[in-house]
Amino acid sequence: MHDEDLLEFADEVEVAPARLAEAEPWPILIVDDDEEIHRATVFALRGVTLFDRPLEFDSAMTAEEARQKLRNKRYSCVLLDVVMEADDAGLRLVGFIRETLCDEAVRIVLRTGQPGYAPELEVVQKYDINDYKSKSELTSTRLITALASALRSYQQICTIEASRRGLEEIVGAASNLMAVQAVERFSAGVLIQICSLLHVPEDGVLCAQSGGLPEEPATVVAASGRFADFRGRAVAELGVSVLHDDIEKVLREQRNMFEPDRTVLYICSPRGERLAVHITTRRPLSELDRKLLEVFSINIAVGFDNAHLFEALEDLAYWDRLTRLPNRAAFEREIERRVSEHDSFHVVVADIDNFQAVNDGLGHEVGDHTLRAAGRILREVFGTDCFLARTSADTFAMVYLGGGSELESDLRNLSKRLEHNVSVEGNDIPLTLSVGVAMYPDHGDRASAVFRNAGIALKQAKQVSRSSFQFFDNRFERELQTRLQTIRELRYSVERKCLRLYYQPQVRLASGEVFGVEALVRWQRTPGELVSPLLFIPAAEDSGHIVTIGEWILRQSCIQQQVWAKRYGRDLRMAVNVSMRQLKDPDFLGMVREVVAQTSINPQHLELEVTESLMMEDTLGLSAILQQVRDMGIGVAIDDFGTGYSSLSHLQRLPIDRLKIDRAFITGLNQNAEDQVIAALVINMGHLLHLQVIAEGVETAEQRDRLLAMGCDDGQGYFFGKPMPADELARQLFG
């Protein structure tokens, strides 16, 4: 091949001049064992600009040299000789690109100087080879044409990939919104996707939100590059009059603006939130780009509403509304983070001694103030460096980063601080705290293990002396023997059929109709002694007995439902709790199908309840299992919702039908305005996700009426009926 053969393009193809000096060149790798081919190819393509970008060439004389270059640099196209040091050297290099480097984007044009040799069609298809040419037929025109086709294909693939990456950012932001920063993160994701779609740098891109009133200025909610520090400030403060005028015009006229060097998108959410996204494009947008952005802006609008909603819900998920401290979910997230960073730290768990006596003797309002006082005292003693959270009713937990001797000193200071009564709402209360401590990694290599061992140390402290502290010691394992004894007794009781089922009515709030019951298990350890599930279910979980117990509960509940249906003509829906241990059992779904078939229950009259805490574990796996449960026609409910053990954003990904509001949200419904707001928020959120909502712990007519006014569908609690044996419930319902 000669240089003049490669110069025929001048009369055949019009090539754009290299007019954009700042445009990033297309990186092209020439792989050939013939030096003349390298020289002729570069000579033929000198000064050529394709799609407003010049060409940049690297050369490799062997397949091994090409491998080294491909490892260190990403190319748009590879012009590859098939036969080099070996007959299949080129094809093996193609396999390296696609399979070893997993580079699906780079375009490959095969060239051969042996017209009689051609790779098999199977190889061309398998490795996504863009073109195959004989060197003798590659005139300048054909070389330009082949390269233009390859680069156009590469650009399209990169566009799709960039768009996909931007979309992942949006989905990630929507699924993992953090409290306070939710809207900002979502807006930032929008900017990333737009820049990816348009192939423009993220520098100087911003999203502004209109003020609530006409006279209020637009403010920056997300920005990048030189505008990144202006988040939360008025657009006018940017000092760029053109940008300010563009945004004000778009928000005022409520339509997109497309200028040769910039674009401003108008986004209006369903609830009236108005935003403008300003992008410096430095080039006119194609009609396709404009249409894409218009469709994008319309579809993304609802995301801002969701961001605001989840911002409120995430605050509920990770903050204790009484003390305004982080809650258990936030605490567990913090220790998981510390473990992932391999930090050494102490977990300190503090429990208020005799707190129930304060509640019973002085009332819940004083009890609430006592909890706030305890939080303040812990903060005063341990300082702001520790991560302090309220993890349950009267229990606080801390991540303490200081050393052991420093911690002991602080714990003694805490004891001194509590030597005198604490004044709470005019009451002198003898406030004391028992404390358990465990250290990572000495007392556990997982966050949950350290947290658990701190709890074991706390129990030991309470057993030794109230208002004391205990560091975890491996000797505490002996204390677990009592728990093992409970497990042994439980196993015996399961074999001897000493478990009993009680049923609590579930009622339509609007009509008062009893439409279903929840099956609740009790353990009759000795005649006349019923053990609460709070005491034996954890032991059953740990031992694995919960799988056997769970199957027995499900089977007996379904049988009982059929007895009532046949005897009284009433198809009550039966709600049955299932645990994570059951859901993870490989035979769980088969067991459910078998029970449904053997008992002849209509699946539509059966509902499985999963506690909210399970949402923190293996969400995707849990979702797949629950989806198969629903595919059987069985309903799925989230139990104890709102207790703060999981991110509420997980809810939208679970295949569920019903939301059970935890009783903690119902107790103060008629006395506490905040309780009313939160209950209403959860009810509205449930309905937004097309879920039925049932409230647990309804104990008064006033609570029922308030829930009904809020739009709650159903209720359950002592106001409607206590848990009772099947015969007693039948007498109450059917006479």
pLDDT for the residue numbered 545: 86
Q: How many CB atoms lie within 10 A of CB 268?
A: 16
- d(C-alpha 241, C-alpha 235), whole Å: 9
Residue 167 located in a structural domain: no
Whether 116 has a pLDDT exceeding 80, the answer reads no
Question: How does pLDDT run across 571-610, given as a tens digit for each residue?
Answer: 999 999 998 889 989 999 999 999 999 999 999 999 999 9
- d(C-alpha 651, C-alpha 156), whole Å: 36
Whether 408 has a pLDDT exceeding 80, the answer reads yes
Identify the residue with better confidence: 389 or 47: 389
Residue closest to 322 by CA, chosen among 672, 80, 727, 595: 672
Whether 413 has a pLDDT exceeding 80, the answer reads yes
Whether 36 has a pLDDT exceeding 70, the answer reads yes
Residue 707: pLDDT band with limits 50, 70, 90: very high
Residues 339 and 260 in one domain: no
Whether 400 has a pLDDT exceeding 60, the answer reads yes
pLDDT for the residue numbered 722: 96
Whether 138 has a pLDDT exceeding 80, the answer reads no
Residues 141 and 230 in one domain: no
- The identity of residue 51, as a single letter, is F
Residues 589 and 667 in one domain: yes
Whether 704 has a pLDDT exceeding 90, the answer reads yes
pLDDT for the residue numbered 180: 32
Stretch among 197-201, 403-407, 427-431 having the lowest mean pLDDT: 197-201
pLDDT for the residue numbered 396: 97
pLDDT for the residue numbered 178: 33
Residue 578 located in a structural domain: yes
- DSSP tally for the chain: helices H, then strands E: 23, 27
Whether 226 has a pLDDT exceeding 90, the answer reads no
- Give me the mean pLDDT over the 614-637 stretch: 80
pLDDT for the residue numbered 294: 73
DSSP string, 361-383: HH-HHHHHHHHHHHHHHHHHHH-
* Contact assessment for residue 458 and residue 470, using Cβ atoms and an 8 Å cutoff: yes
- Measured in degrees and rounded to the nearest 5, phi and psi for residue 533 equal -60, -20
Residues 569 and 674 in one domain: yes
Question: How does pLDDT run across 48-77, given as a tens digit for each residue?
Answer: 999 889 999 999 999 999 999 999 999 999
3-class secondary structure, 219: strand
Alpha-carbon distances, residue 598 vs 370, 518, 595, 603, 608 (angstroms): 54, 21, 5, 12, 18
Identify the residue with better confidence: 197 or 640: 640
Give the containing element (helix H, strand E) for 39: helix 35-44
pLDDT for the residue numbered 11: 33
CA angle 592, 597, 600 (to 5 degrees): 120
Residue 435 located in a structural domain: yes
- d(C-alpha 490, C-alpha 533), whole Å: 11
DSSP string, 441-508: TTT-SSHHHHHHHHHHHHHHHHHH-TT-EEE--GGGGGGHHHHHHHHHHHHHHHHTT-EEEEEEEEEE
Pairing assessment for the beta strands 49-50 and 77-81 based on DSSP bridges:
unpaired
Question: How does pLDDT run across 258-269, given as a tens digit for each residue?
Answer: 998 888 988 887
3-class secondary structure, 339: helix
Residue 168 located in a structural domain: no
* Contact assessment for residue 710 and residue 680, using Cβ atoms and an 8 Å cutoff: yes
* Contact assessment for residue 723 and residue 501, using Cβ atoms and an 8 Å cutoff: no
- Give me the mean pLDDT over the 400-415 stretch: 93
Pairing assessment for the beta strands 714-715 and 692-695 based on DSSP bridges:
parallel
- Give me the mean pLDDT over the 619-636 stretch: 87
- Give me the mean pLDDT over the 468-473 stretch: 91
Residue 613: pLDDT band with limits 50, 70, 90: low
Could you say which DSSP state residue 127 is in? T
Give the containing element (helix H, strand E) for 167: helix 140-175
* Contact assessment for residue 13 and residue 44, using Cβ atoms and an 8 Å cutoff: no
Alpha-carbon distances, residue 66 vs 34, 108, 118, 558, 651 (angstroms): 14, 13, 21, 68, 50
Domain containing residue 366: CATH number: 3.30.70.270
pLDDT for the residue numbered 10: 30
Alpha-carbon distances, residue 327 vs 314, 321, 330, 387, 655 (angstroms): 11, 9, 5, 11, 26
% of the chain exceeding 90 in pLDDT: 41
pLDDT for the residue numbered 165: 61
Stretch among 4-18, 306-320, 683-697, 715-729 having the lowest mean pLDDT: 4-18
Report the mean per-residue pLDDT for the chain. Answer: 83
3-class secondary structure, 432: coil
Domain containing residue 181: CATH number: 3.30.450.40
Highest mean pLDDT: which range of 128-132, 317-321, 503-507: 503-507
Domain containing residue 127: CATH number: 3.40.50.2300
Residues 288 and 203 in one domain: yes
- d(C-alpha 288, C-alpha 151), whole Å: 19
Residues 200 and 343 in one domain: no
Question: How does pLDDT run across 243-262, given as a tens digit for each residue?
Answer: 999 999 999 999 999 998 88
Residue 155: pLDDT band with limits 50, 70, 90: confident
- Measured in degrees and rounded to the nearest 5, phi and psi for residue 437 equal -130, 135
Whether 175 has a pLDDT exceeding 50, the answer reads no
Question: How does pLDDT run across 429-462, given as a tens digit for each residue?
Answer: 889 999 999 999 999 889 999 999 999 899 888 8
- d(C-alpha 263, C-alpha 687), whole Å: 38
Q: What is the maximal distance between C-alpha atoms in the chain? A: 105
Pairing assessment for the beta strands 422-424 and 427-429 based on DSSP bridges:
antiparallel
* Residue found by looking up tokens 């006349």 in the block: 528
Tokens of 201: 């740098």
Tokens of 392: 């349950």
Exposed/middle/buried for 693, CB within 10 Å: 0-12, 13-18, 19+? buried
Residues 16 and 145 in one domain: yes
Domain boundary among 300, 318, 336: 318
Residues 219 and 135 in one domain: no
Question: Omega into 655 within 30° of 0, i.e. cis?
Answer: no
Residues 441 and 524 in one domain: no
Residue 291 located in a structural domain: yes
Residue 487 located in a structural domain: yes
Residue 14: pLDDT band with limits 50, 70, 90: very low
3-class secondary structure, 440: strand
Stretch among 217-221, 647-651, 708-712 having the lowest mean pLDDT: 647-651
Tokens of 3: 């240089």
Residue 349: pLDDT band with limits 50, 70, 90: very high
Question: How does pLDDT run across 547-577, given as a tens digit for each residue?
Answer: 999 999 999 999 999 999 999 999 999 999 9
CA angle 108, 109, 112 (to 5 degrees): 135
- Measured in degrees and rounded to the nearest 5, phi and psi for residue 573 equal -75, 135
Identify the residue with better confidence: 692 or 159: 692
Residues 188 and 264 in one domain: yes
Domain boundary among 318, 348, 373: 318
Number of domains into which the chain is organized: 4
Tokens of 472: 């975890």
What pTM, to 2 d.p., does this model score?
Answer: 0.43
pLDDT for the residue numbered 28: 96
- d(C-alpha 435, C-alpha 461), whole Å: 7
Question: How does pLDDT run across 287-302, given as a tens digit for each residue?
Answer: 767 776 776 676 666 6
- The identity of residue 31, as a single letter, is V
Residue 208 located in a structural domain: yes
Residue 478: pLDDT band with limits 50, 70, 90: low
- d(C-alpha 65, C-alpha 641), whole Å: 61
Residue 611: pLDDT band with limits 50, 70, 90: confident
Domain containing residue 611: CATH number: 3.20.20.450
- d(C-alpha 277, C-alpha 504), whole Å: 54
- The identity of residue 596, as a single letter, is V
- d(C-alpha 144, C-alpha 99), whole Å: 28
Radius of gyration of the chain (CA): 34
* Contact assessment for residue 127 and residue 95, using Cβ atoms and an 8 Å cutoff: yes
Whether 674 has a pLDDT exceeding 60, the answer reads yes
Residues 696 and 648 in one domain: yes
Domain boundary among 274, 299, 318: 318
Residues 259 and 361 in one domain: no
Q: Please name the residue ranges forming H helices in 644-725.
A: 673-688, 701-710
* Residue found by looking up tokens 């502004």 in the block: 208
Question: How does pLDDT run across 181-197, given as a tens digit for each residue?
Answer: 456 666 676 777 777 66
Identify the residue with better confidence: 108 or 425: 108
Q: Which residues contact residue 443 at a Cβ distance below 8 angstroms, ignoring those fewer than 6 apart?
A: 449, 450, 453, 454, 472
Identify the residue with better confidence: 404 or 173: 404
Residue closest to 532 by CA, chosen among 557, 574, 570, 502: 502
Structural domain including 546 reads 483-728
pLDDT for the residue numbered 214: 66
- d(C-alpha 390, C-alpha 428), whole Å: 23
Residue 446 located in a structural domain: yes
* Contact assessment for residue 224 and residue 278, using Cβ atoms and an 8 Å cutoff: no
pLDDT for the residue numbered 487: 78
Residue 3: pLDDT band with limits 50, 70, 90: very low
